[in-house]
Amino acid sequence: MFSGVFSAGVVKKALDRGIVRMAVHDLRDFTADKHRQVDDRPFGGLEGMVLKPEPIFRAVEAVREEAGAKVYLLSPQGRTLDARLARELASETQVILICGRYEGVDERVAEHLADGEISIGDFVLSGGELAAAVVVDAAARFVPGVVGKEGSVRSDSFAGGILACPQYTRPREFRGLKVPPVLFSGDHKRIERWRRRKALEKTARQRPDLVEPGALSPEDRELLEETPHERKSS
């Protein structure tokens, strides 16, 4: 699964250049029985299978390169992945991601081995592999040198706490739909003001939770409160 996801794109280039390293480990390689069993039925009579603690503890202990390595369990019950968490992960020397499966993972892993749990949303996947790939991609973008133009990371959605501004490219007019003329004004200060206002408007429309009262600076509140006439003139 991981070889397919990371066979192209900026993360693949970063792996080739050695900017980031990634290794995938099979839990079955850390079992001690002839059947290489990694799961078992849950105590208490519930349905499904639960990943056993022994191979997970052995795997983490075997691949941990230093005492300070961070260990996270991918779980729908974890902290929701966002730009802040991705940046935190990118600053670590080593991050170990445990991919849950089936009905979950023995709770002793979460309580006594993992430093935390990470979720990519309020839904359940068939396994944590896809979620882990999302975490790797999101975090890798914050590692210096991974993205060709690092300024693009700073202008991504959520990088500044709000959504990104609208973007346009050629042609200037398509099926009667025109690119806002302010982008051709050559007035960089005016363009930046327009971009900031549009980003705030989009955020207020699509993610109002990010611009709740008190979350914006006085300058941003002023931009959002401008009248249509003022917006047109600016």
Instruction: State the catalytic residues.
Output: 76, 103, 141, 156
* Alpha helices (H) in the chain, listed in sequence order: 2-5, 10-17, 53-63, 83-90, 107-112, 129-140, 150-154, 188-206, 218-224, 228-233
d(CA 165, CA 205): 13
d(CA 67, CA 145): 26
Residue 224 Cα distances to 91, 126, 139, 213, angstroms:
34, 42, 31, 12
d(CA 165, CA 183): 12
Phi and psi dihedrals of 191, rounded to 5? -65, -45
Structure tokens at 101: 């499966």
Residue 172 neighbours by CB under 8 Å, 6+ apart: 178, 179, 184
3-state secondary structure of 64: coil
